Chains A and B, each alone.
Chain A
Amino acid sequence: MTNHVSLTINGVNVKAPEGATILEAAQSAGIYIPTLCYCPGLTSEGTCRICLVKVENKKKLHPACRTPVKEGMKVITDDAEIEQVRRVTLELILSDHDFNCLLCPKSGTCRLQALVNRIGFDEQRLNRLNRVAKDLPIDTSNPFFDFNPNKCIQCGICIRTCREIVGVHAIDMAYRGYDLKVSTFGDKPFKESVCVSCGECVERCPVAALIPRKIEYPTREVKTTCAYCGVGCGLYLGVRGNTIVKVRGDSENPVNRGELCIRGRFGYKFVHSPDRLSSPLVRAYDPLERVAHGIDETVKPGKALTAPLVKREGKFVEVNWEQAIKYVASTLVHYKGDHFAAISSAKCTNEENYLFQKFVRAVMETNNIDHCARL
């Protein structure tokens, strides 16, 4: 059991576990402190100075995200002076930000925009501060996301994500002073770096610096499980019409806690691939060849085959479901027992695997069933 300390925030008594920060204590007590570079689950670096608060008997303002709570501490999160400092800080961030919000894909979900709405700015001062907007090239090398350094506020969330969560260290801060920017090793395009394109940084970027290539908003979300590897990450498929347009991690899932890898986040597009099979296919043999293949239709006159089986040697012919099912069923009847074998799928559901082995064992009367566990 960790020890708790009590402190007051804006005159309200708050209890917090030892070692917690002022920000965590305030959040658990339902007191809002504006933040920008703070991201739950990552270490706090206190770079943005938006969460500055007053601590009684201390001269300077302290960043709430990095200051641990102490017994008897008295914290003020909001007064005219703090407001003034925050406003200037925000203006400094805005001064070299490419803020054409109307044309920005992040508009509406941008955390910088939300802060501006909340804290406000002095237009005259901002105009005076405003330097010529940066005009750095946009990195579009990665097929899934773009990096626009002109939108970047250098909060470092992406860097910490890559380091602490993903463990890849693909990006860090490069250059100095006004030239400071987020960069890959050697300032190469993302595609040529060690970046694994998992999109975790894109997911966490508070502004439009790291932004998905194509943004579509789903009309509904369906909770499900990823179909790629055995880790079994929980995810939400964002659906619009009959199309999956977005995937996001399920933070409730104990396996991935909201995180996803490149395949889970971006690999869903195979569902809508134009190569998907859309109709049952039967290989058309001429009648002689069919006898050679041991398919004797006289035994079971299903007549499923006759209609669609045009004489087109070795080519596939589209048939309807009824014909296909009848064909398979009427043919399989002749192979009951150990002449038959089946390979099930580690991609299909439990229910389907169960049914398939039941079919093989109960209907086809053999235990010749296996799947790719050995591959």
Chain B
Amino acid sequence: MTNAISEIGETGCVFVIGSHTAAAHPIIGRQINRAVRNGAKLIVADPREIALCRMADIWLRHRSGTDVALLNAMARVIIEEKHLNTSFMKERCEGFEAFEVAVMASDLSLAEKVTGVPAEKIAEAARMYASVSSATILYAMGITQHSHGTDNVKAVANLALLTGHIGNPSTGVNPLRGQNNVQGACDMGALPDVLPGYQKVQDPEIRKQFEKAWGCRLNRSPGLTLTEIFEAAHSGKVKALYIMGENPAVTEADTSFIEEAISHLELLVVQDIFLTETAQLADVVLPAASFAEKDGTFTNTERRVQRVRKAIEPVGNSRPDWMIICDIAQNMGAKGFDFDSPEQIMEEIRTLTPIYGGITYERIDKVGLQWPCPDTEHPGTPYLYPERFTTPSGRGQFSPISYTPPAEMTSHEYPLILTTRRSMFHYHSTLSRKVAELNDLRGEEQVEINPVDAAALEIEDGETVKVISRRGAVQAKAKISRITPPGVVSMTFHYPETRTNVLTHAALDPIAKIPEFKVCAVKIEREIEYGAEYLGWGTGKD
């Protein structure tokens, strides 16, 4: 996020696209509620009628996967009607000319056709977003989990640059990160191409610095991304896999392929707090301690590094992950893994990660600090880019992009679009499913289907149906609801007993390598055991 969470409540306009905020990030959803109560305008762009739509000034119900068309059309309106922030663009941006050509290439009526949103409504939203003094864009996986997710993100950034809605309090582009410490895991270099603090692996200077600190030689070529790892495992290039606290057998796209890839491995080590679906396939399972049983820090979506404290002793014979890693490394004869406490590890992180330079346990004891925080005097950074951007030129870069359809389109055989969503009551695949009360509230998968489609397929509410894609099939109960538009069905993936991701498509974004969870083509069949008597030819008896 470029801004702090608490700034959302003070903004003049909130534009939410591809985020079911009230369910996935409830506390940020409340900030939107606060902003609206303070008089802010709310624009929601989502194919599904999410809870926020009720309080929105404008709801753009665009078709799944047509975000670029929608955002480009908004940009076109802003340019045509001269809502541009020209002084901001002149001082801080570049590449506008090429962008303008790309945006002007398609007109609003085409956007209307592609997105299914009336042109006038798109224009109204563009005006509303551009005309306020402070506006913030919130987006989540609805933008990124597409085969052109990077394009979507760039299209969002273009809007902010056109209007100068970035670099001020309550004004910016705010991707809402999913997991509690997904931000921190990225910051710490749990990525194939960067070392801690987003320092490139390919940079020899950076490598030298780390080699000196760690006393080793570092591999110069960037590694494989998550999805590529499983491809490499499948083809036998990767022979051993060590998974810490993840459950790809449920959460990855096209999970049948993942399971097959795992079966090709020679060694799979899984370190987790539960015997997850992935751990059941492992050769070695190491029991880890939960967040309540260890010290450390998490970094949240607004880049705030906060303390995690040990409240209870590790349950059973489990151990904190950091101890296990240290033990294995030391057992392999490696140096530099003799830590006594997470605080010592943070001290090492501090010296090698400039953006964390000023983070000490003492300073974040009460309230966390937001990085970049280069030294111990620095107060942290609530909002990013007040003066320059982190591009080589320091200027915001307009990206000319054009709409590309999703990788998998509906066909005669698979006429419906499946889009995955998240439930209010559950969280990914494991943790919340272990809480009996949460299962009581929502204990099984529900396929949301519009009454129009349900009527056409003669499906009744609560009936078990079979959802089939080109990759697999699952059974789940149908829930007839107007939340999803006609032609679209929606499922969560919280229930390992209903592996939604057997259906999803592993088409990757070429740059971010993110799978297209939000669009895949499916068909639905009724799952009724027709008793012979219903079929009319009797049971043989009279």
Please report A residues at the B interface, Cβ cutoff 8 Å: 142-144, 164-168, 191, 196-198, 222-234, 237, 239, 242-244, 252-257, 259-264, 266-273, 275-283, 293-295, 316, 321, 324-335, 337-363, 365-375
- Let me know if B275 and A348 touch, CB within 8 A: no
The closest CB in chain B to the CB of A228 belongs to B427
- Let me know if B336 and A266 touch, CB within 8 A: no
Kindly list chain A residues whose C-beta atoms are within 8 Å of the C-beta of B86. Answer: none
Would you call the interface of chain A mostly helix, strand, loop, or mixed? Answer: mixed
The closest CB in chain A to the CB of B238 belongs to A341
Kindly list chain A residues whose C-beta atoms are within 8 Å of the C-beta of B232. Answer: 341, 368
- Let me know if A282 and B437 touch, CB within 8 A: no
Interface check B130, CB cutoff 8 A: no
- Let me know if A229 and B266 touch, CB within 8 A: no
Contact of B242 among A143, A280, A332 (CB under 8 A): A332
Kindly list chain B residues whose C-beta atoms are within 8 Å of the C-beta of A268. Answer: 292
Contact of A328 among B55, B284, B346 (CB under 8 A): B284
Interface check B489, CB cutoff 8 A: no
The closest CB in chain B to the CB of A197 belongs to B441
Interface check B67, CB cutoff 8 A: no
Kindly list chain B residues whose C-beta atoms are within 8 Å of the C-beta of A339. Answer: 237-240
Say how far A350's CB is from chain B's closest CB, in angstroms: 4
In the assembled complex, the Cα of A247 lies from the Cα of B185 at a distance in Å of: 25
Question: A198-B26, A348-B321 are contacts. A342–B244 as well, Cβ < 8 Å?
Answer: yes
- B315-347 CB mask vs A (1 if < 8 Å, else 0) is 111111110111111011010110100100110
- Let me know if A280 and B224 touch, CB within 8 A: no
- B249-268 CB mask vs A (1 if < 8 Å, else 0) is 00110000000000000110
Kindly list chain B residues whose C-beta atoms are within 8 Å of the C-beta of A333. Answer: 332
Can you list 19 A-B pairs with a CB-CB distance of less than 8 A?
Answer: A225-B180, A225-B300, A231-B176, A239-B312, A242-B313, A255-B304, A275-B434, A277-B316, A278-B315, A328-B269, A332-B332, A335-B239, A341-B240, A347-B181, A349-B184, A353-B188, A363-B329, A365-B216, A372-B182
In the assembled complex, the Cα of A253 lies from the Cα of B322 at a distance in Å of: 26
In the assembled complex, the Cα of A352 lies from the Cα of B217 at a distance in Å of: 21
In the assembled complex, the Cα of A366 lies from the Cα of B242 at a distance in Å of: 13
Kindly list chain B residues whose C-beta atoms are within 8 Å of the C-beta of A372. Answer: 179, 182, 226, 246, 248, 251
| Best-buried of A166, A325, A348 by chain B (most CB within 10 Å) | A348
Contact of A283 among B5, B282, B312 (CB under 8 A): B282
Query: Which of B448-456, B512-520, B530-538 is found at the contact surface with chain A?
Result: B512-520
Say how far B502's CB is from chain A's closest CB, in angstroms: 15
Question: A229-B24, A332-B242, A362-B336 are contacts. A254–B367 as well, Cβ < 8 Å?
Answer: yes
Question: A230-B301, A239-B311, A370-B226 are contacts. A282–B239 as well, Cβ < 8 Å?
Answer: no
Say how far B514's CB is from chain A's closest CB, in angstroms: 4
Query: Which of B27-35, B113-121, B470-478 is found at the contact surface with chain A?
Result: B27-35
Kindly list chain B residues whose C-beta atoms are within 8 Å of the C-beta of A243. Answer: 312
- Let me know if A343 and B242 touch, CB within 8 A: yes
Would you call the interface of chain B mostly helix, strand, loop, or mixed? Answer: mixed
Kindly list chain A residues whose C-beta atoms are within 8 Å of the C-beta of B55. Answer: 167
Kindly list chain A residues whose C-beta atoms are within 8 Å of the C-beta of B30. Answer: 165-167, 259
Kindly list chain A residues whose C-beta atoms are within 8 Å of the C-beta of B441. Answer: 142-143, 191, 197
Kindly list chain A residues whose C-beta atoms are within 8 Å of the C-beta of B373. Answer: none
Considering the complex of A and B, which 8 residue pairs feature the smallest CB-CB distances, nearest first? A232-B300, A278-B316, A349-B296, A345-B245, A167-B33, A367-B223, A261-B26, A277-B287
Question: A228-B427, A346-B181, A369-B190 are contacts. A279–B317 as well, Cβ < 8 Å?
Answer: yes
Say how far B143's CB is from chain A's closest CB, in angstroms: 13
Question: A326-B331, A351-B346, A367-B219 are contacts. A234–B306 as well, Cβ < 8 Å?
Answer: yes
- B428-455 CB mask vs A (1 if < 8 Å, else 0) is 0011101111101100000000000000
- Let me know if B300 and A367 touch, CB within 8 A: no
- Let me know if A325 and B331 touch, CB within 8 A: yes
- B174-198 CB mask vs A (1 if < 8 Å, else 0) is 0011111111111111111101100
- Let me know if A373 and B307 touch, CB within 8 A: no
- Let me know if A254 and B6 touch, CB within 8 A: yes
- Let me know if B322 and A370 touch, CB within 8 A: no
- Let me know if A276 and B284 touch, CB within 8 A: no
Interface check B299, CB cutoff 8 A: yes
Kindly list chain A residues whose C-beta atoms are within 8 Å of the C-beta of B178. Answer: 229-230, 346, 375
In the assembled complex, the Cα of A350 lies from the Cα of B196 at a distance in Å of: 10
Say how far B468's CB is from chain A's closest CB, in angstroms: 23
| Best-buried of B237, B251, B331 by chain A (most CB within 10 Å) | B331
- Let me know if B214 and A350 touch, CB within 8 A: no
- Let me know if A271 and B315 touch, CB within 8 A: yes
Kindly list chain A residues whose C-beta atoms are within 8 Å of the C-beta of B123. Answer: none
- Let me know if B180 and A325 touch, CB within 8 A: no
Question: A350-B299, A372-B246 are contacts. A357–B189 as well, Cβ < 8 Å?
Answer: yes
- B266-307 CB mask vs A (1 if < 8 Å, else 0) is 110100111100010011111110111111111111101111
In the assembled complex, the Cα of A270 lies from the Cα of B513 at a distance in Å of: 32
- Let me know if A349 and B328 touch, CB within 8 A: no
Interface check B414, CB cutoff 8 A: no
- Let me know if A329 and B331 touch, CB within 8 A: yes
- Let me know if A352 and B296 touch, CB within 8 A: yes
Contact of B33 among A166, A253, A254, A283 (CB under 8 A): A166
Contact of B219 among A273, A357, A365 (CB under 8 A): A365
| Best-buried of B28, B191, B245, B346 by chain A (most CB within 10 Å) | B245
Kindly list chain A residues whose C-beta atoms are within 8 Å of the C-beta of B296. Answer: 348-352
Interface check B233, CB cutoff 8 A: yes
- Let me know if B298 and A351 touch, CB within 8 A: no
Contact of A357 among B181, B188, B239, B305 (CB under 8 A): B188
Question: A144-B437, A267-B432 are contacts. A262–B424 as well, Cβ < 8 Å?
Answer: yes
Kindly list chain A residues whose C-beta atoms are within 8 Å of the C-beta of B229. Answer: 341, 343, 368, 370
